[in-house]
Homo-oligomer: A and B are copies of this chain.
Amino acid sequence: MEEWQLAQGFSYSGIVSKLRNEPNRRDLAVIYSKSPAAAAGVFTQNRVAAAPVHICRERVPSSKIHGIVICSGNANACTGDQGMADARRMTELAANKLGCQPDQFLVCSTGVIGRPLPMAIMEAGIPSAVDRLSADKAGLNDAAHAILTTDTVIKVATRKLMLGQDRICITGFAKGAAMIGPNMATMLGFVMTDASVDPKDLQMILRNSVEHTFNCISVEGHTSTNDTVLILANGRGEPLSGERLQQFAMAVQEVCSELSRGIASDAEGAKHLVIIDVVGTRTDAEAKTVAKTIADSALVKTAIFGADPNWGRVVSAAGYSGVIFEEKDLSLTMGPTLLYERGRPLPFDAKIASAYLRDNRTVHLKLTFTLGEGKCTFYTCDLTDEYVRLNADYTT
């Protein structure tokens, strides 16, 4: 395990509750802050949100959160009133055991949609997970494992910084969006810091960070019912402001960026990590729209899987993104090769271009527009026959 710097005042656990019905698979995590913490959250934009998302939305931003309980294997989504009651009960079980109020706990789930949560397992598991809370790296490691679904490795990132006399630390962990994403590709992220931050500032900082990091990765364009990123800040004393708050915000974005790159890199099923750079649009939002449309194109993704330099599919996907441009406004580079320049196709050696796709696990597409200063970097993967096989029989 690499050397992690941990935010102070937090403890963690991750246990085998048997929710997943796999003998040695950790599937239930608790995060706990002894002091009440400021908390903020960013959630899925899906109209069909899982029960835990509804509960979290009710409870953040807040200045009094003590922790988060997370289960993997069941999404508790499309589960109606019972699902809401079950999610509330999960927070109650953690809070009762720790001597705080249920509404001082947050809750997340990831897994299959539309199945009732087996509450007997939660009734036994959550108190047991609380018993194992640990402030050391082993505890964090267990929690980071317990939230995984199809991920092959844990994703942890940490930053420390000096703000005047104060040393503060930001510790995060996350799960993917593993590229074959049978679990609805749900993304969960948790960021803990010992800084003192006003809840409103924390919410703004988290939203901005997510926009530039977790919202710039895509698997197949299917927005999960459960996507959640939460941040807890348990520092005491005067909340950060001015220059210090900005330094803190930058560090939070760095942690989120490292976690999201970790998710995009852990591409099960996928054979390529695809980095899509779009520059020169009118706005950053336009660049992101173009990049996401390309990232979601099955035709682009199968071509990259097959090492087929079929660049017309990329230009065509940009064309139906909804962003207004003329063909002469656009040039396209695939790796080292300029293929399309201001609306004109350039002659190229198809064998060399194909070899670039075949021989590199990470491939770059760069689209350059002549419309302005907008830009975006987006991460996705290719679409493989393994993706189809793995997703074709997930629940049965």
A interface residues, Cβ below 8 angstroms from B? 44-49, 75, 77-81, 112-116, 181-182, 184-185, 220-225, 296-299, 302-303, 305-313, 315-321, 323-327, 330, 339-340, 343-345, 350, 354, 383-385, 387-389, 391-396
Contacts and interface: CB of A to CB of B under 8 A. Distances in A.
Contact of A388 (B78, B305, B343): B305
A317 B222 contact: yes
A80 to B, nearest CB: 4
**From A220, A223, A345, residue with most partner B Cβ within 10 Å:** A345
A74 to B, nearest CB: 11
Contacts of A321: 47
A395 B316 contact: no
Grouping DSSP codes into helix (H, G, I), strand (E, B) and loop, the A interface class, with mixed when no group exceeds half, is loop
Given A78-B340, A318-B48, A313 B385 contact: no
A365 to B, nearest CB: 15
Nearest to A389: B385
Contacts of A395: 303, 308-310, 350
A391 B306 contact: yes
Contact of A298 (B115, B222, B385): B222
Given A220-B298, A312-B184, A350-B396, A225 B319 contact: yes
A310 to B, nearest CB: 5
Given A299-B222, A302-B392, A394-B303, A326 B47 contact: yes
A47 B345 contact: no
A376 B106 CA distance: 40
Given A309-B396, A312-B184, A391 B302 contact: yes
A372 B330 CA distance: 43
A298 B185 CA distance: 12
A392 B344 contact: no
B391 A114 contact: no
User: What are the nearest 8 A-B pairs in CB distance?
Assistant: A113-B312, A306-B392, A48-B319, A223-B320, A80-B344, A302-B391, A46-B319, A47-B319
Contact of A224 (B80, B182, B298, B316): B316
A386 to B, nearest CB: 9
Contact of A308 (B184, B340, B385, B393): B393
Nearest to A345: B114
A222 B313 contact: yes
Nearest to A393: B306
A114 B345 CA distance: 6
B184 A299 contact: yes
Nearest to A223: B320
Nearest to A350: B396
A297 B298 CA distance: 10
Contacts of A315: 48, 78, 113-114
